[in-house]
Chains A and B, each alone.
Chain A
Amino acid sequence: MAETPARRQPRFQQITVMLLMTAFQLVCAACVLCRQETLQLSMVYLLVGYIAAEWIYLLIGNLVTGNDYFELEAIAFFLSGLGLTLCASFSEAFAFKQLVAIGLGLAVYLLILLLIKNMYVVRWLRYPAAIGSIGVLALNLLLAQVHNGALNWIDLGPVSIQPSELVKVVFIFVGAVTLEKLLSTKALWLYIGYALVCVSCLFLMRDFGTALIFFFTFILIAFMRSGNVRTLFLICAVALMGAMLVIYFKPYVANRFAAFRHVWEYADTLGYQQTRVLTYSASGGLCGLGLGEGYLRDVYAVTTDLIFGLINEELGIFMGVAVVLSFVGIAFFAVKTAKSAGSTFYAIAAVAAAGMLLFQMSLNVFGVTDLLPLTGVTLPFVSRGGSSMICSWGLLAYIRAAGAPFVPPRPDIAVNKRLRRPAKGGGAT
């Protein structure tokens, strides 16, 4: 069995995955279309167009790069498609906006891949990126629209954007490039200063959840570069004290914690969203009640913050678990690529991006299920919203960039066994 000569990982596996995903998405599309009172062709174009776009991306990508490995994109397409389906089950307007968002996300993804291919460009970009991102946040503070008690939206007429989402992508970029080359104290201080300004801006915007994500990512990047656990503990301790002060002085933050782990006692006030998510998640069972059959969809912010509950109720716990595991898959991929990355920049960026996605997913999923305090952040790729979608795909680019060109694992296990100790990784160092 193991004596067959070593060959490339069979291509049909990718095709199988794509075919299965297409089948799933077609079923989802059928569910959406069947629920419409009169069949709208535009909705058909929209949903079938998305599936077609996946295939076009795959085929062009294959032809241009000769790369067969699209598991990362496949996961992102799966999650985005799920979000699109849920949006479509609400209204065509939602679906159209979401499709545009996915398209923009994909464009940003490709743009970032292109930009960071060249390390000269990367280094040249760091100051403009850092200054630009702070500028955007400052502008945001000036023009902020109050939204859910947070001031993190800029309203531009037909669309509103959430600058903090876009800054997330830049934040990792700046961090990875600043700390890439050498561990100079100056570089570290510069980055700490930059991180401090970003987090402070978010606090001023009252976007507590995003501030937490930034802080977490900062710690992750600092660890990747320094590896000094003691220093990080110190940072965490200082931050914890700061956070406690914030909670003490800002009742709206303290409120979020008051109901934590006691949501059923506050079922109609602070625990409203969590209790609804739990109730309807349980109602859905393993396989869900069917698209559009749920009642969570009548609860405020269901397509953004509470989308995990909607997935559980209408598509089933299985699907909810699949969503969480998708993010775990992305993270596994990131570690793998980071180990074979061509430079420290790519490794740090990939790990930081994976960590950020995983952390934000955890804040969302475990926030609405009352395992963590509710912070009101979106579920990357799935939640409705353009800024969030663009950010998610942007982060994905760092993970892909680290792995390109991807070296497939040696398929011939028997050879490795005979060698006992194979040459590790084979990646460039």
Chain B
Amino acid sequence: MKITAKRAAVIYGLIALVLAGLTVFLVSLVRHGDSWAGSRFNRHIYSGGAIVNAGTIRDVNAVILAETKNGKRVFADGANTRRATLHVVGDTAGYISTGTHYLYRDALSGYSIAGGVYKLKRSGTGTDITLNIDSAACRVAYEALGDYNGAVAVYNYKTGQLLCSVSKPTFDPQNRPKDLLTNEKYEGVFLDKVLSGIYTPGSLMKIVTAACAIENMPDIYSRTFECDGEYETGDGTVICNGVHGKVSFQEAMNESCNCAFAQISIELGASKLLATAESLGFNKQLTAKEIRLAKSRFSPSKTSKSELGWAGIGQSTTYLNPAHMLAIIGAVANGGVGYAPDRIRAAGAISEMVGRVPEPLVKMNPSTAAQLQKLLRSNVADQYGESKFPGLEMCGKTGTAQIDGETSHSWFAGYSQRDDLPLAVVVIAEHAGSGMRTASAVANTVMQYFAGN
């Protein structure tokens, strides 16, 4: 009998297992409860696969971009505003996976571990989200892009606040086109090209190559390069956009001389170029706050000189993500620290008070940044002309990314030096030809909006 009594203790083992199981359940509830509650079949939040009950999304000027009214989700006033802010706000079904609706669905649902979705249940709305985005600026950028597809992003390089982010093609979520999934012109419409797009950078890459040269070639400012329209590497030819004759480093940057930069790239060598590019975030999975960016890629050839030359001027197998470019140009502007573009101002009352901490995304040597600032300022002052950016004290670089058999992509990346306008801008207009023509014009239009003109 006594033995039996002792063996009864086996139940304690079982109890311990049950308590362990309960603990595991509770721990995973704390850890994953937000994503469980945010799942698409949660009918407290979704109906027919689309968000119905959620907090209001406002822009930086308290303009409502999305809210729940009488159990229905409605978007901003004005079709173009809705189109311009679509990718930032996101659709209710979560097709745009980087949209605020999908990415911050747990916050929008008002979910908390303690209260579940009780708040949503009681009031019909969850936690409100305020964005750093200025929807009027987005509309301006959207309209400035005209018929071109592409992306525009503007952010404050001192704080990381993303003020404008537009991706095209887009659509009006309030009146979803019937041919959205079938019409060719909507291809890639669910992709936010600012965050998830990658493009051949063209001459924008010269900023990276120049950074590498500044750090690795002590005599770079006393050097001159010969350009007769093309540069023979021995195993191929790099073709230039013109015949520039004898150019200094700064002139090469101003003229965006391919011959000079191909020579510099080859002289630096693949490993040094790669080291600089990777230190600036290439070939890395970057995360801007809660958002994963598409990976920028750089793989300079170690065997072919001509391929290496092409890579150094942003062709070959080089790809660039616009948001990443924004952080690079932000690092230049901000003296070495490029903050991650952050779309969210506040989610809920507490974060409204506390604010969000800027998060460095790209870092470069401050002295390199200072040198690049001069080069980029000289580009506008000496080459493009101040008249392209009246009153903005712009620094920047255009890019014309050549694509086989199609019209080039038009790039511009730059920033204003004005203390009262600490903004950086990146524009990519797909198949819009020279960077000088389209992208810089779009950049100017948007920057003028922020300058109050």
Interface residues of A (CB under 8 A from B): 220, 223-225, 227, 264, 267-268, 275-276, 278-289, 293, 295, 298, 313, 317, 321, 324, 327-328, 331-332, 334-335, 338-341, 343-344, 347-348, 350-351, 354-355, 358-359, 361-362, 365-366, 369, 371-372, 425, 429
Does B5 lie within 8 Å of A338, measured CB to CB? yes
B74-126, CB < 8 A from A: 111-118, 121
In addition to A279-B37, A334-B11, 8 A-B residue pairs with Cβ atoms within 8 Å of each other are: A279-B42, A282-B36, A283-B116, A285-B116, A285-B117, A338-B8, A372-B21, A429-B1
A193 to B115 Cα, complex, angstroms: 52
Q: Can you report 27 A-B residue pairs in the complex whose CB atoms are below 8 A from each other?
A: A223-B7, A223-B10, A227-B7, A267-B39, A275-B41, A276-B41, A279-B42, A281-B29, A285-B115, A285-B116, A285-B117, A285-B118, A286-B114, A286-B115, A288-B116, A328-B15, A328-B18, A331-B14, A334-B8, A338-B8, A347-B1, A350-B8, A351-B11, A358-B11, A361-B18, A366-B21, A429-B5
**Are A332 and B21 CB-contacts (below 8 A) given A282-B116, A283-B37, A347-B8?**
no
B33-76, CB < 8 A from A: 33-34, 36-37, 39, 41-44
A16 to B12 Cα, complex, angstroms: 28
Q: Which residues of chain A have C-beta atoms less than 8 A from B25's C-beta?
A: 365-366, 369, 371
Q: Which residues of chain B have C-beta atoms less than 8 A from A348's C-beta?
A: 4
Nearest CB in chain B to that of A286: its residue:
B114
Nearest CB in chain B to that of A226: its residue:
B7
Q: Which residues of chain B have C-beta atoms less than 8 A from A429's C-beta?
A: 1-2, 5
Q: Which residues of chain B have C-beta atoms less than 8 A from A287's C-beta?
A: 114-115, 118
Among the listed B4, B39, B115, which residue makes an inter-chain contact with A344, where contact means beta carbons less than 8 Å apart?
B4
Is B9 among interface residues, defined by CB-CB distance under 8 A?
yes
Q: Determine chain B's interface SS by DSSP, over half rule.
A: helix
Q: Which residues of chain A have C-beta atoms less than 8 A from B113's C-beta?
A: 285-286
Q: Min CB distance, B9 to chain A, in Å?
A: 7
Q: Determine chain A's interface SS by DSSP, over half rule.
A: helix
Q: Min CB distance, A279 to chain B, in Å?
A: 5
**Are A335 and B9 CB-contacts (below 8 A) given A267-B41, A317-B26, A328-B15?**
yes
Q: Which residues of chain A have C-beta atoms less than 8 A from B21's C-beta?
A: 362, 365-366, 371-372
Nearest CB in chain B to that of A358: its residue:
B14
A340 to B4 Cα, complex, angstroms: 10
Does B12 lie within 8 Å of A358, measured CB to CB? no
Q: Min CB distance, A215 to chain B, in Å?
A: 15
Does B39 lie within 8 Å of A279, measured CB to CB? yes
Among the listed A279, A327, A332, A355, which residue makes an inter-chain contact with B36, where contact means beta carbons less than 8 Å apart?
A279
Is B24 among interface residues, defined by CB-CB distance under 8 A?
yes
Q: Which residues of chain A have C-beta atoms less than 8 A from B1's C-beta?
A: 341, 343-344, 347, 429
A362 to B24 Cα, complex, angstroms: 13
**Are A220 and B10 CB-contacts (below 8 A) given A267-B41, A317-B26?**
yes
Does A282 lie within 8 Å of B14, measured CB to CB? no
A369 to B23 Cα, complex, angstroms: 12
Does A289 lie within 8 Å of B8, measured CB to CB? no
Is B370 among interface residues, defined by CB-CB distance under 8 A?
no
Among the listed A223, A280, A371, which residue makes an inter-chain contact with B42, where contact means beta carbons less than 8 Å apart?
A280
Does B18 lie within 8 Å of A324, measured CB to CB? yes
Q: Which residues of chain B have C-beta atoms less than 8 A from A276's C-beta?
A: 41
Is B3 among interface residues, defined by CB-CB distance under 8 A?
yes
Does A285 lie within 8 Å of B112, measured CB to CB? yes
Q: Which residues of chain B have C-beta atoms less than 8 A from A293's C-beta?
A: 121
Among the listed A223, A313, A328, A341, which residue makes an inter-chain contact with B19, where contact means beta carbons less than 8 Å apart?
A328
Nearest CB in chain B to that of A339: its residue:
B5
Does A371 lie within 8 Å of B24, measured CB to CB? yes
Nearest CB in chain B to that of A343: its residue:
B1
Q: Min CB distance, A108 to chain B, in Å?
A: 23
Nearest CB in chain B to that of A334: its residue:
B11
**Are A224 and B8 CB-contacts (below 8 A) given A317-B29, A371-B25?**
yes
B425-448, CB < 8 A from A: none
Does B41 lie within 8 Å of A283, measured CB to CB? no
A97 to B177 Cα, complex, angstroms: 53
Among the listed A264, A289, A343, which residue makes an inter-chain contact with B117, where contact means beta carbons less than 8 Å apart?
A289
Is B451 among interface residues, defined by CB-CB distance under 8 A?
no
A285 to B126 Cα, complex, angstroms: 14
Q: Which residues of chain A have C-beta atoms less than 8 A from B9's C-beta?
A: 335
Among the listed A284, A286, A335, A362, which residue makes an inter-chain contact with B12, where contact means beta carbons less than 8 Å apart?
A335
Q: Which residues of chain B have C-beta atoms less than 8 A from A331's C-beta?
A: 11, 14-15
Does A354 lie within 8 Å of B7, measured CB to CB? no
